[in-house]
Chain A
Amino acid sequence: MAPSARTLLAQMAPDFPARHVGDLYTDTTEFMRISHGDVIVLADRHFLVLRDEAERRFGMEDPKFWVKRCRCLETGGRNILKLVFHESFPMTIGTMTVTCTRSPRKETRILDLVHGDDRFMQGETIYDTADNPVRILDIVPGKRLDEKIEALEMPHRDYFHDHFPEVLERFIEACQAIQWLHDRGEKHGDIRRDHLYVLRETGRYCWIDFDYTFDFQESPFGLDLFGLGNIIQFLVGMGQHTTQALTPSQRVIIDANDCSIMFPNRVVNLKKLFPYIPESLNNILLRFSLAAEVYYDTTAELIDDLSRARDALSQPTL
Chain B
Amino acid sequence: MHTAKILIAYDGSDNARRAVSYTAAMVGSGGNRLVDVAAIERPADRDLFADDAAWKAECARRIEAMRTSLNEARAMLVAAGVPEAAVTTRFVESCRSPLREAQECSIGTSIALEILRLAEEGGYDTVVVGRRGVSKQEEFLFGSVSTKIIHAAKGLAVWVVA
Contacts and interface: CB of A to CB of B under 8 A. Distances in A.
Interface of A: 86, 88, 93-96, 98, 101, 103, 105-106, 185, 213, 215-220, 222-223, 226, 261-262, 290, 292, 295, 297
Contacts of B44: 215
A295 B42 contact: no
Given A96-B138, A101-B48, A262-B141, 7 more contacts: A94-B137, A106-B47, A216-B143, A217-B42, A218-B143, A261-B137, A295-B140
Given A93-B141, A96-B137, A226-B140, A220 B109 contact: yes
A219 B47 contact: no
A101 B111 CA distance: 23
Contacts, number: 58
Given A105-B47, A217-B42, A261 B140 contact: yes
Contact of B46 (A94, A105, A219, A261): A105
Chain A facing B: main interface SS? loop
B85 interface: no
Contacts of A93: 141
7 A-B pairs with least C-beta separation: A219-B143, A218-B143, A103-B47, A106-B47, A213-B47, A101-B48, A86-B50
Interface in B104-162: 109-112, 136-145, 148
Contacts of A94: 137
A222 B48 contact: no
Interface string B89-103: 000000000000000
Contact of A219 (B42, B45, B48, B141): B141
A262 B47 contact: no
B141 A216 contact: yes
Contact of B140 (A103, A215, A262): A262
A217 B111 CA distance: 8
Given A101-B47, A103-B48, A215-B48, A222 B141 contact: yes
Contacts of B145: 218
A262 to B, nearest CB: 6
A102 to B, nearest CB: 9
Contact of A218 (B45, B46, B48, B148): B148
A190 to B, nearest CB: 13
Interface string B35-75: 00000001011111010000000000000000000000000
Nearest to B48: A101
Given A218-B142, A218-B148, A222-B143, A95 B137 contact: yes
B13 to A, nearest CB: 12
A262 B111 CA distance: 25
A226 B143 CA distance: 12
Contacts of A262: 137, 140-141
Nearest to B11: A217
A192 to B, nearest CB: 15
Contact of B142 (A95, A106, A222): A222
A218 B144 contact: yes
B141 A96 contact: yes
B111 A218 contact: yes
